[in-house]
Structure 1
């Protein structure tokens, strides 16, 4: 018997009976969806709907094990509760995952089947795009469900939310950089962007416009090509984590901040679009001990949620952009609270979220 198999027998990685940091997350509802005809296997997790219906993207990913998909959807949905609360949105936290490789398993029939499952929840869950899904996919899902946001403008949605997400990250980064280096902010600083997909490429443009020196990495050549005409001003490396940086911007998959990477990280500010950047919560304390200003991921990357969530509130484009830029104010509030109360930024943000949820329950 392999070590991996033995480890999985020891670990409890279901929904209710777990032995990791999700054991106290108290999700309201987890729905397993299966359609034999199309091969669809999906999981929808509703974490907390105190503030409103759950909203969160659908991640299409080739998970190695079903338990990995469960863990991911539970973590992501819990993060969406925090993200909506800290952004002041009247929404709850939810997320969904489709188990499979979007390059080979995606089909219109599968997406339509998934839409029927979303519809069956009667509006408790609104879906949007995430890793592995696109605006075009949402248009297809929208054929069989009314509860879809982020569809193309032609289909009645607000379109891709990558720019709004990047704007929120940039606004948070500027606030953290100003808190660290005073008025000079991000100008002249060396920023390492890890992942230049539909969010990272917009962030690179914003950083260059602000006078930053940008270095990027991404294993996908097509993503690097997306930088376009401005690529000559961007340095490409195999890994930004080993570079001499002022700012580290994780914009790919999560868990890049581990005890090992934090121990050698040169950056004084960490702010990016990736979800679940910490391998575990104790890493936040390691960052604090090294005087690294970490902007919690669900604070920095709230711009996309603000955009698609605003489809439900009827906000104008200008109102959406103004609210996204307000992420800078939230960042300053969290950094101030963390310093004033001598806690990690993770804990400072948690206290703000808890206060808003308790006020809504009361």
Structure 2
């Protein structure tokens, strides 16, 4: 099947494939739209079950980054990179250097940042071979701490702010005593759990790595549940913070939560799932709106800014979500559809 015929191909400007025989690198970079500026997006390393699964992921993720940048008010486009392989088993310095060369081959059309399975240390190795790596010389931190280039604290804080706003909008209450089911306890999910615990929320958690679940149970008084059980819980909020496409017609019928608000990208298996959530009376926080804290962080590292200015920008996620929710109510449409409309209005106009 041609890339152009792929179900997730959406007028992407550039899709590049790389196989480096010496290091074993297999990677894909997708550039969706550069109308507002050069594309920026994380580099993800994941043990995909097939090449097509990886292509599907990078096409969806890169498109999401275009919409995310537009909704966050940034003058940049959307792109993404994926490396095929288990980061805990096959990641090497040589592999990261080869990935740096791959990014550099696109001559700045794509700027790479951190994502699942990658670290700032990995990006610094990639930067040995490319000037188009972001998040390695950070100056600002969302809480005024020493910045190390990891955007996860900003992403997690933005999701926390957005989740809190969504609960206020849907349930008319604060987070004290609110039951939240968190799916995925990676760099962002674990930080989100900490914010929620401090705000008085009651946590239920699951992850593919038992040690992360044990940490959340120990530090945040969370209750551990199985991977499948997370959908069936009698909770107020379901927070997907792992991989995408996890909300589908089958498990949407299982969800008892009144709010879905999490950090994962591309949470809906299809756009039609947003309408299914609406029909069930579930308020859905469009993923690329609520999880924009990381890209806002990276953007501020490139401009004259400050800790406070970056934090204030991240907190505007709340205002954007309310705009989406109110417009969705007025138009009687799903929140993901309305968010798409607003984003498209922005990135189809010149910056």
- TM tier relative to shorter chain: over 0.9
Report the counterpart of residue 65 of structure 2 in structure 1.
80
Distance (whole Å) between structure 2 residues aligned to residue 229 and residue 261 of structure 1:
29
Report the counterpart of residue 236 of structure 1 in structure 2.
224
Report the counterpart of residue 3 of structure 1 in structure 2.
none
Distance (whole Å) between structure 2 residues aligned to residue 34 and residue 312 of structure 1:
31
Report the counterpart of residue 163 of structure 1 in structure 2.
153
Deviates more, 1:234-243 or 1:248-257: 234-243
Equivalent position to 2:303, from 310, 313, 320 = 313
Task: Verify the 8 A CA contact 2:217 2:223 in the aligned structure 1.
Answer: no
Equivalent position to 1:251, from 207, 228, 241 = 241
Task: Verify the 8 A CA contact 1:151 1:157 in the aligned structure 2.
Answer: no
Report the counterpart of residue 143 of structure 2 in structure 1.
none
Equivalent position to 1:28, from 13, 28, 34 = 13
Q: Aligned pair count?
A: 343
Q: CA deviation at 1:359?
A: 2.5
Distance (whole Å) between structure 1 residues aligned to residue 250 and residue 109 of structure 2:
40
Gaps of 5+ in 2: 140-145
Task: Verify the 8 A CA contact 1:158 1:311 in the aligned structure 2.
Answer: no
Report the counterpart of residue 45 of structure 2 in structure 1.
60
Is 1:45–2:43 an aligned residue pair? no
Q: RCO higher in 1 or 2 (8 Å CA, sep ≥ 6)?
A: 2
User: Equivalences for 1:84-163 in 2 at 5 Å?
Assistant: 84-151=69-136, 158-163=148-153
Report the counterpart of residue 196 of structure 2 in structure 1.
207
Gaps of 5+ in 1: 1-11
Equivalent position to 2:5, from 17, 20, 34 = 17
Report the counterpart of residue 258 of structure 2 in structure 1.
268
Distance (whole Å) between structure 1 residues aligned to residue 77 and residue 215 of structure 2:
33
Report the counterpart of residue 9 of structure 1 in structure 2.
none
| SS of alignment partner, residue 249 of structure 1 | strand
1:299-340 per-residue CA deviation (whole Å, 9 max, x = no partner) reads 111111111122222322221111111111111010011001
Report the counterpart of residue 227 of structure 1 in structure 2.
216
Equivalent position to 1:301, from 291, 297, 308 = 291
Q: CA deviation at 1:197?
A: 1.3
Task: Verify the 8 A CA contact 1:139 1:152 in the aligned structure 2.
Answer: no
Distance (whole Å) between structure 2 residues aligned to residue 65 and residue 157 of structure 1:
36
Tell me the TM-score normalised to structure 1 length: 0.91
| SS of alignment partner, residue 160 of structure 1 | coil
Report the counterpart of residue 291 of structure 1 in structure 2.
281
| SS of alignment partner, residue 102 of structure 1 | coil
Deviates more, 1:156-165 or 1:55-64: 156-165
Tell me the TM-score normalised to structure 2 length: 0.94
Distance (whole Å) between structure 2 residues aligned to residue 287 and residue 227 of structure 1:
28
Distance (whole Å) between structure 2 residues aligned to residue 149 and residue 358 of structure 1:
25
Q: CA deviation at 1:201?
A: 1.0
The RMSD of aligned alpha carbons is 1.7
| SS of alignment partner, residue 334 of structure 1 | helix
Q: CA deviation at 1:17?
A: 1.6
1:100-142 per-residue CA deviation (whole Å, 9 max, x = no partner) reads 2212221111111110121122211110111111111111111
Q: CA deviation at 1:158?
A: 4.8
Task: Verify the 8 A CA contact 2:271 2:337 in the aligned structure 1.
Answer: no
Q: CA deviation at 1:348?
A: 0.7
| SS of alignment partner, residue 45 of structure 1 | strand
Task: Verify the 8 A CA contact 1:246 1:267 in the aligned structure 2.
Answer: yes
Report the counterpart of residue 70 of structure 1 in structure 2.
55
